[in-house]
Chains A and B, each alone.
Chain A
């Protein structure tokens, strides 16, 4: 018989007010403002936007404060908020070639049109903690240099001229881009759907899988063809206007991974590619995404599927940290009835086991009990 039990209402309410108190912390310390988080914890905000799959800096900052800095909780909050809004449509595909570039590096070509622009990077810093930052020292204005208005073609376009690299990924002409927010996941899946899942996937999970490919599990000899970060313009087709309406600009990170490929029954020797595109400035994530994208193309390219990073169902089913945390964390919620049932079952099995292994003792026990 199942008996429904209620309880804990007061405990829950009090726990939530305690949470609010601890979130605020010491009242003699000024409360954080959202603009401080947007400006000074910008990459954390970018991560929440990217994995929350919603581009809105203030909302991501609010989520970070509300979650006390717990990024996955913040991502969860953003995902939940998304479901409350109506959808206006799909933008026209962005043109990353026309990006207002804030950083652009290539590990394959030293001299390329537009050059290597380091931008605001952690690369080449010494990773020494800076006590001056703790003291709140003023920061100097960065230097400026007159910029030649160079076109900055994507590196993939340069390699393509030699014909040694595969083209940008095409889909059959009548293919409508899939949308995992509308249709449930189905395997095997097309590359466009996989990329959507990877773009919102957990950075740590994709980083570990990308790393595993470098260490020999589905090795695919990657080079960073190009990473570029900057703002792109968005446009939306709407019925009320005869032209695509401009929505404003959004910062994205793009990674073109170039992989040596010795050829297979399905494709000649050439460079193949993995692609990463992520909201905000999220270079590590874009690189991990590109490594995973390439590894997941194993079947398409006629490679043997031998490693976790190549297993589409494994990777995509476990890349979403909101789903993952939901299922893992639900284990701490009351399972009293389930556990009672299991306890009963284990007791019975143990009694049967003992009767079988040691009939005499079982008999003694029974007699003693009687």
Chain B
């Protein structure tokens, strides 16, 4: 049971990470295509505030504050009772609200598969494609050192 709980938590967190990284436009488009229900009671927000980003001295040492970033959050309750949350960088309130509803739907066992396959999976695939492209473009700028042949044989 504990193992299952930890797995559920990791999957939920991964879904939230995908939603946070995705663009609001992509979420709205897929939401409409999938016909997911957007009926929910807003318990908090959507509201924009700040988080302070922390780094570590020397990369791995003691934490220090670097600066702030805008974050928008929302908390919703579905008619079926599940409470969902979203925190995402930026100021997109529509995205925060839908992502919170998605988090709530994800917690409903009857809805989870639908949310995963119709919303999270395509968003994740868009993100992965963009990331792989970026990685491959960077890789093309990798320096291949070679040794100059010297001498006059």
- The A-contacting residues of B in range 119-133, CB under 8 angstroms, are 131, 133
- Least Cβ–Cβ distance between A56 and chain B, in angstroms: 4
User: Is A117 within 8 A of B142, CB to CB?
Assistant: yes
Q: How far is the CA of A180 from the CA of B9 in the complex (A)?
A: 35
Question: Is B17 in contact with chain A by the CB < 8 A criterion?
Answer: yes
Q: Which of A93, A171, A248 contacts B89 (CB 8 A)?
A: A248
Q: How far is the CA of A359 from the CA of B56 in the complex (A)?
A: 71
- By a CB distance below 8 angstroms, the chain B residues around A192 are 57, 62-65
Question: Is B54 in contact with chain A by the CB < 8 A criterion?
Answer: yes
Provide the A70-112 mask, 1 if CB < 8 A to any CB of B, else 0: 0000000000001001111111111011001111000000110
- Least Cβ–Cβ distance between A199 and chain B, in angstroms: 5
Question: Is A186 in contact with chain B by the CB < 8 A criterion?
Answer: no
User: Is A199 within 8 A of B67, CB to CB?
Assistant: yes
- Least Cβ–Cβ distance between A74 and chain B, in angstroms: 15
User: Is B51 within 8 A of A117, CB to CB?
Assistant: no
Q: How far is the CA of A101 from the CA of B141 in the complex (A)?
A: 12
- Tally of contact residues, B, Cβ under 8 A: 53
- By a CB distance below 8 angstroms, the chain B residues around A180 are 65
- The B-contacting residues of A in range 41-60, CB under 8 angstroms, are 49-50, 53-56, 58-59
User: Is B21 within 8 A of A248, CB to CB?
Assistant: yes
User: Is B68 within 8 A of A199, CB to CB?
Assistant: no
* Given known A-B contacts A168-B57, A275-B58, A275-B59, A248 and B88 have beta carbons under 8 A apart: yes
- By a CB distance below 8 angstroms, the chain B residues around A338 are none
User: Is B17 within 8 A of A246, CB to CB?
Assistant: yes
Q: How far is the CA of A107 from the CA of B110 in the complex (A)?
A: 56
User: Is A147 within 8 A of B64, CB to CB?
Assistant: no
- By a CB distance below 8 angstroms, the chain B residues around A147 are 135-136, 138-139
- By a CB distance below 8 angstroms, the chain A residues around B12 are 243
Q: Which residue of A lies closest to B143 (CB)?
A: A116
User: Is B9 within 8 A of A56, CB to CB?
Assistant: no
- The A-contacting residues of B in range 65-88, CB under 8 angstroms, are 65-71, 73, 75, 85, 87-88
- By a CB distance below 8 angstroms, the chain B residues around A94 are 53-56
User: Is A145 within 8 A of B136, CB to CB?
Assistant: yes
Q: Which residue of B lies closest to A155 (CB)?
A: B59
* Given known A-B contacts A55-B89, A240-B75, A118 and B143 have beta carbons under 8 A apart: yes
- Least Cβ–Cβ distance between B78 and chain A, in angstroms: 16
Q: How far is the CA of A56 from the CA of B61 in the complex (A)?
A: 27
- By a CB distance below 8 angstroms, the chain A residues around B48 are 85
User: Is B85 within 8 A of A56, CB to CB?
Assistant: no
Q: Which residue of A lies closest to B132 (CB)?
A: A147
Provide the B1-35 mask, 1 if CB < 8 A to any CB of A, else 0: 00000000100110011001100000000000000
- By a CB distance below 8 angstroms, the chain B residues around A142 are 137, 140
Question: Is A195 in contact with chain B by the CB < 8 A criterion?
Answer: yes
State the A residues within 8 Å of B (CB). Answer: 49-50, 53-56, 58-59, 82, 85-94, 96-97, 100-103, 110-111, 115-120, 142-148, 154, 156-157, 167-171, 175, 177-181, 191-193, 195-196, 199-200, 233-234, 236, 238, 240-243, 245-250, 252, 254, 256, 273, 275, 277-279
Give the 6 A-B CB pairs with smallest separation, nearest first: A168-B58, A169-B57, A168-B61, A147-B139, A192-B64, A246-B17
